[in-house]
């Protein structure tokens, strides 16, 4: 490799600013702030659910300490702050934040009045049945896998998601140059709408 010390490269500051801003914007949009329409999840939520699935925390299993789940997620798939991961985990367990919670939490997971959840060493969690529908057949090559942050493991680009999760749960997020705000919907009504769309090419507003 050539020695780069002392080497000068002349670039146009306008072009460099455009490239840097675009790279940053795409990183925020794709990797952090906005959900993927295919499974309705942001990366941190997807990684938490996948880590819990790999840990065997199915609805019929015993609860595991949230601290253990956070550590597993951070060490294998999401090398960011532990509190950011825990906050995301807590939200997935709150029935006042999620139309259909994807995590079954045991302990103090906060309240609608703004009370924060107990520390991760006190709370426990496992997957809900609806989360299992999101992960159904993931070990059978149903979705694309990509190397994790250090290349030692594989993680899903998105979950199989038998459910239209983005419509069910809704989502809010502010990225760079764009944002999303989708309200949650009732599962039965979404199924009726999908069935109607499949069965009929055109339909009236009343239908």
Query: At residue 146, what are phi and psi to the nearest 5 degrees?
Result: -135, 150
> CA 102, CA 128: separation in Å to the nearest integer?
5
Query: Could you tell me which residues come within 8 angstroms of residue 52 by beta carbon, excluding any fewer than 6 positions away?
Result: 64, 69, 103, 125, 126, 127, 131
Taking every pair of Cα atoms in the chain, the longest distance, rounded to a whole number of angstroms, is: 71
> CA 126, CA 185: separation in Å to the nearest integer?
24
At which residue do the structure tokens 């149903």 appear? 142
Active site residue 53: no
SS3 106: strand
> CA 19, CA 59: separation in Å to the nearest integer?
46
The Cβ of residue 33 has, within 10 Å, a number of other Cβ atoms equal to 19
> CA 194, CA 164: separation in Å to the nearest integer?
10
Out of 21, 24, 122, 203, pick the active-site residue.
122
Which residues participate in catalysis according to the annotation? 122
């Amino acid at each position: 490799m050539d020695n780069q010390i002392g080497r000068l490269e002349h670039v146009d500051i306008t072009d460099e600013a455009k490239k840097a801003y675009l790279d940053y914007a795409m990183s925020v949009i794709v990797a952090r702030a906005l959900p993927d329409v295919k499974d309705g999840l942001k990366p941190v939520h997807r990684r938490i659910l996948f880590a819990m699935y790999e840990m065997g925390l199915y609805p019929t299993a015993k609860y595991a300490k949230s601290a253990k789940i956070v550590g597993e997620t951070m060490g294998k798939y999401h090398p960011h702050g532990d509190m950011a991961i825990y906050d995301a985990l807590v939200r997935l367990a709150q029935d006042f934040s999620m139309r259909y919670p994807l995590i079954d939490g045991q302990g103090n997971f906060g309240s609608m009045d703004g009370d924060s959840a107990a520390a991760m060493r006190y709370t426990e969690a496992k997957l809900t049945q609806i989360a299992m529908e999101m992960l159904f057949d993931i070990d059978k090559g149903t979705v694309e896998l990509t190397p994790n942050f250090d290349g030692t493991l594989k993680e899903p680009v998105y979950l199989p998601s038998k459910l239209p999760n983005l419509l069910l749960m809704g989502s809010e997020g502010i990225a760079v140059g764009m944002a999303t705000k989708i309200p949650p919907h009732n599962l039965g009504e979404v199924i009726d709408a999908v069935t109607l769309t499949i069965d009929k090419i055109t339909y009236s507003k009343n239908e």
